[in-house]
């Protein structure tokens, strides 16, 4: 991967020591900050892309997230992982853009939806290791399509809570909704995604 990073600056700090990199970046070591960016840029782009589902917004949100992280590095206390702190900033940037494009999607605490649509419709065995039936690129397309089809009110909590591993409380704070609403939407998101993957993973072999 290093060959595709022509702009990487030399840093004397070992790659595996994030806290040293953060300390160095805080004291003005630009190379250390750039190393942190190199480390997380792909994951942050995945996050902003998954929230906004719009290439231009995802790029802007990622740029602004790293710019803000740099500008506010002094505020990072080190009581959480640097990456978690970065995810919170990037999530806010991405959500801001999503709200701008879809202003009606995020009314505060929407009433909890009825659960008549919760019951899974298609039930069939997936067979052993269904994920191994697809090559990596194919699998990426499948997941990409599935998440793309999920409405933002379900997609966002799934991305933040399950993919980026924010806590339920952090997800609620980022989205400006209650913890109960996050839990309810997360359940729906997971069941909906299961349903979407079902058409690829169900066992086609006759019994």
Partner 1 sequence: MNCKSVVREISNYLDGDLDAATKHELERHFDHCEDCKMVVDQTKLTVDIFCDSKPVELPKEVRARLHEVLRRKMREPKS
The residues binding partner 1 (CB under 8 A) are 4, 7, 28, 30, 33-34, 37, 41-43, 45-46, 49, 59, 62-63, 66-67, 70-71, 115, 118-120, 123-126, 130-131, 136, 139-140, 143-144, 147, 158, 162-163, 165, 183, 186-187, 190-191, 193-194, 197-198, 201
- Tokens read off for 173: 């704070």
Cα 162 to Cα 47, 154, 187: the distances in Å are 11, 12, 11
Give 86: exposed, middle or buried? Use CB within 10 Å, 0-12, 13-18, 19+.
Answer: buried
Question: Shortest distance, CB of residue 106 to partner 1, whole angstroms?
Answer: 21
- The dihedral sign for the CA sequence 194, 199, 205, 207: positive
Q: Considering the complex, state which of residue 64 and residue 95 has its C-beta at the smaller distance from partner 1.
A: 64
Q: Considering the complex, state which of residue 96 and residue 163 has its C-beta at the smaller distance from partner 1.
A: 163
* 3-state secondary structure (DSSP) of residue 185: helix
Q: Considering the complex, state which of residue 103 and residue 204 has its C-beta at the smaller distance from partner 1.
A: 204
Question: Shortest distance, CB of residue 104 to partner 1, whole angstroms?
Answer: 26
* 3-state secondary structure (DSSP) of residue 88: helix
Question: Shortest distance, CB of residue 51 to partner 1, whole angstroms?
Answer: 14
């Amino acid at each position: 991967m290093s060959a595709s990073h022509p702009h990487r600056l030399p840093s004397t700090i070992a790659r595996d020591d994030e806290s040293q990199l953060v300390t160095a970046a805080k004291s003005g070591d630009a190379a250390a900050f750039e190393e942190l960016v190199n480390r997380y840029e792909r994951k942050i782009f995945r996050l902003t892309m998954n929230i906004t589902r719009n290439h231009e917004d995802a790029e802007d949100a990622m740029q602004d997230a790293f710019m803000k992280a740099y500008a506010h590095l002094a505020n990072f206390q080190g009581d959480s992982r640097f990456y978690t702190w970065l995810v919170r900033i990037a999530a806010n940037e991405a959500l801001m853009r999503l709200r701008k494009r879809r202003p009606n999607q995020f009314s505060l605490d929407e009433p909890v939806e009825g659960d008549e649509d919760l019951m899974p419709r298609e039930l069939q065995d997936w067979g052993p290791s269904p994920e191994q039936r697809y090559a990596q690129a194919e699998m990426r397309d499948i997941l990409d399509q599935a998440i793309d089809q999920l409405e933002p009110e379900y997609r966002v909590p799934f991305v933040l809570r399950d993919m980026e591993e924010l806590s339920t409380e952090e997800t609620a704070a980022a989205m400006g909704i209650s913890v109960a609403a996050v839990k309810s939407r997360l359940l729906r998101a997971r069941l909906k995604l299961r349903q979407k993957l079902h058409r690829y993973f169900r066992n086609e072999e006759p019994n």
